[in-house]
Amino acid sequence: MTQELFHYIDGERRKGTSGRFADVYNPATGDISKQVPLASADEVRGAIASAAAALPGWSATPAAKRAQVLFKFRDLILKHMDELAELVSTEHGKILDDAKGSITRGLEVVEFACGIPHLLKGEYSQSVANGVDVMSARQPVGVCAGITPFNFPAMVPMWMFPMALATGNTFILKPSERDPSCGIRLAELMFEAGAPKGVLNVINGDKEAVDVLLSDPTVGAISFVGSTAIGRYIYETGCANGKRVQALCGAKNHMVIMPDADLDQAADAAMGAAYGSAGERCMAISVAVAVGDETADAFVHRMAPKVQSLKIGPYNDPAAEMGPVVTKEAKARIEDYIDQGVAAGAELVVDGRGVRLQGYENGFYVGGTLFDRVTTDMSIYKDEIFGPVLSVVRAKTYEEAKQMVIDHEYGNGAAIFTRDGDAARDFTQDVNIGMVGVNVPIPVPVAYHSFGGWKASLFGDHAVHGMEGVRFYTKLKTVTARWPSGIKEGAVFNFHSGSDTGH
Q: Is 98 left (phi over 0), alpha (psi -120 to 50) or beta?
A: alpha
Contact 411, 456 (CB under 8 A): yes
Q: Catalytic pick from 114, 144, 249, 282?
A: 282
Nearest residue to 440 via CA among 250, 253, 299, 310: 253
Nearest residue to 415 via CA among 398, 404, 427: 427
Burial class (CB in 10 A: 0-12, 13-18, 19+), 178: buried
Residue type, 375: T
Contact 204, 16 (CB under 8 A): yes
Taking the mean position of all CA atoms in its chain, how far away is CA 397?
A: 34
Residue type, 291: V
How does 167-176 read in b/e, with b if 16+ C-beta sit within 10 Å?
bbbbbbbbbb
Integer Cα distance of 497 and 500 in angstroms: 8
Kindly give the pairing relationship between strand 369-374 and strand 347-350.
Answer: antiparallel
Q: Any idea what the Cα angle at residue 55 is, between residues 53 and 57, rounded to 5°?
A: 95
Reported in sequence order, the residue ranges of 141-252 that DSSP labels E, i.e. its strands, are 143-147, 170-174, 200-202, 219-225, 244-248
Integer Cα distance of 52 and 497 in angstroms: 38
Burial class (CB in 10 A: 0-12, 13-18, 19+), 358: exposed
Integer Cα distance of 350 and 338 in angstroms: 11
Integer Cα distance of 132 and 267 in angstroms: 62
| 282 catalytic per annotation | yes
Nearest residue to 150 via CA among 335, 365, 326: 326
Taking the mean position of all CA atoms in its chain, how far away is CA 457?
A: 12
Helix (H) or strand (E) holding 257: strand 253-257
How does 366-402 read in b/e, with b if 16+ C-beta sit within 10 Å?
bbbbbbbbbeeebebbeebbbbbbbbbbbbeebeebb
Quickly list H helices, 207-327: 207-215, 228-240, 263-275, 293-308
In sequence order, what are the residues at sequence separation of 6 or more whose Cβ sits closer than 8 angstroms to the Cβ of residue 59? 139, 140, 168, 169
Catalytic residues: 282
